[in-house]
Amino acid sequence: MWRALVFIGLLCVAAFGAVWLADRPGTVLVTFAGYEVQTSVSVAAIALVGIALALALLWSLVSGILQLPSRLTFASRARRRSRGYQAVSRGMVAVGAGDTIAARRYANEAERLLGKEPLTLLLKAQAAQVSGNREAAEAAFSQMMDEDETRVLGLRGLFVEARRRGDAGAAHQYASEAVRLAPAAAWASDAVLEARCADRDWRGALEAVERRTSLGLLDKKTAKRHRAVLLTADALERAEHDPDGALRSAQDAARLAPDLVPAAALAGRLLSRRGDLRRAAKVVEAAWRSLPHPDLAEVYLNLRPGDSGLDRLKRAETLLRLSGSAPEGRLAVARSALEAREFDRARAALEPLLSNRPSMRVCLLMSDLEQAEHGSTGKGREWLARATRAPRDPAWIADGVVSDKWAPISPVTGRLDAFVWQAPPDVLVAPELTLHDDVTSDLDDEVRALPIAAGAEPAAPSASEPATPVEPVVAPEPAPVETEVKADVAAEEPVKDEAPLPPPGPVVFPVTPPDVPKPKEAGRRSVFSVR
């Protein structure tokens, strides 16, 4: 639009000039080399414009001829670069598709056409990685180190190759150099933090977390959690030789993350040793409200050494009230009531946990309760056998590893704050498991292998009738009242000419079993000693 208006305006100016010259007649006389040329002003103006155009065309022709070689060279280079970048594009597609032969071919073609371009070196390195040629990949990444714009990329490639061959020192060195050159590189700061955690340099890891937070690589909530985890790790490491410093670190961690169980448990334990029971109780109670945990219950129930079983039972009642009748609170009450020989209170605490597949710890507590109250009876052995195939209780899990102790980093990946408190997948027992499972079949085998009592002859099974297997003692569900009465009567009257059933054989679990209550110190009553 504007160009059309400008063109029309120029035409108007030219027409106005032509009319102005036509209205003012005159003559122009040119004398040159004895010749005289006389013409009108309008004709002279037109001739002057024609001569200017001819000179311009002549100059353009001469300059075009002079610049022809350079233009041909430029066109050739442009075609070469176009073919080179096309080879880079096809090579990247081949790398993504896993075509190693095409990737190497396009990488060589791109290097021949483009030389040591950043994309060429990157394609060459990736083609070598896809082909499994680690030496060629490291050589390509080393070439990237020569240029400022590709130095960080080369460091990352060398870092990856160093980790693949298991050279942790070289990987840490490359990551540290990358952090120095590009502090905002997330992979480098992650690697530095991971290396310091692996070296148990918790203070250095705290500095790395602070630097990442200042650069905006971590949000405030995650950074706060990471600080608490690192402070807890530092406190656990210093608990024996520097209890005061460990207490400061544990209290700082508990303030940053009140739901971090190891920090609260350690702070409560250290405060209890110093005799500051009020502060210890407050720290443990704050963590218990966020996450009821058996470690917190252990610390809270034993805040004052030498307390009686009834005193510990009162503290357990407090935990139950704070947790809103959570399962961990009921387990703490049941354990304390059992130690205090308050059997009715222990049963009342465990009763709501028996309705829907009680967990392993619940079954073990019920077995201890039956043995403590009634002695060694079939009911206690039944609960003990049910514990072998009961759902597992929550444990510390990180990247598929189940542990009975918390750790600041994952033992598999080295990730910070990887352990979470949750129930492992129930892979041992299916909900529809019947009596004839692996555990009961092992018991049947052991019963069949028992020696026959004197005076009794083994009955050989007939060919038409299969041998009747020995009825397993353990049932998946609690027996009815009539069955329990019969079992008690049978337990009181000894059976003649029958060998007693042996205890179940050891059952190997692929995960760490729940903690077994430890025997108390001298002067206290042990649960396992009550018969």
Side-by-side strand order, sheet with 420-422: 401-403, 395-398, 420-422
Looking at 93, 125, 143, which one is the last position of a domain?
143
> What was the pLDDT predicted at 456?
38
Q: How is residue 54 written in tokens?
A: 């001819």
Least Cα distance to 225 among 253, 197, 264 occurs for 253
Looking at 119, 143, 167, which one is the last position of a domain?
143
Cα angle for residues 123, 92, 147 (degrees, 5° grid): 30
Least Cα distance to 290 among 355, 381, 246, 228 occurs for 228
Q: Which residues of the chain have pLDDT under 70?
A: 426-531
Least Cα distance to 367 among 345, 349, 347, 396 occurs for 347
Q: In this structure, what are the phi and psi dihedrals at residue 33, rounded to the nearest 5 degrees?
A: 55, 45
> What was the pLDDT predicted at 232?
95
Strand-pair category, 401-403 with 395-398:
antiparallel
> What was the pLDDT predicted at 343?
92
Q: Summarize pLDDT for 121-176 with one digit per residue, the tens.
A: 888 888 888 888 888 888 889 988 888 888 999 999 999 999 988 888 899 999 99
> What was the pLDDT predicted at 248?
94
Helix (H) or strand (E) holding 40: strand 35-40
Any domain includes 414: no
Any domain includes 120: yes
Any domain includes 349: no
> What was the pLDDT predicted at 118?
83
The reply to whether 40 and 90 lie within a common domain is: no
**Is residue 171 within 8 Å of 191, Cβ to Cβ?**
yes
Any domain includes 504: no
Count: domains in the chain: 2
> What was the pLDDT predicted at 426?
65
Least Cα distance to 189 among 237, 140, 162, 152 occurs for 152
Any domain includes 318: no
Domain that holds residue 110: 81-143
Looking at 109, 125, 143, which one is the last position of a domain?
143
> What was the pLDDT predicted at 364?
93
Least Cα distance to 531 among 369, 299, 419, 385 occurs for 369
Q: Is the pTM of this model over 0.85?
A: no
Any domain includes 137: yes
Any domain includes 117: yes
Any domain includes 134: yes
Least Cα distance to 450 among 485, 499, 518 occurs for 499
Other beta carbons less than 10 A from residue 144's beta carbon: 23
Q: Which residues pair with 397 in a beta bridge?
A: 402, 420
Q: Summarize pLDDT for 62-119 with one digit per residue, the tens.
A: 888 888 887 778 788 888 888 888 888 998 898 888 888 988 888 888 888 888 788 8
The reply to whether 41 and 89 lie within a common domain is: no
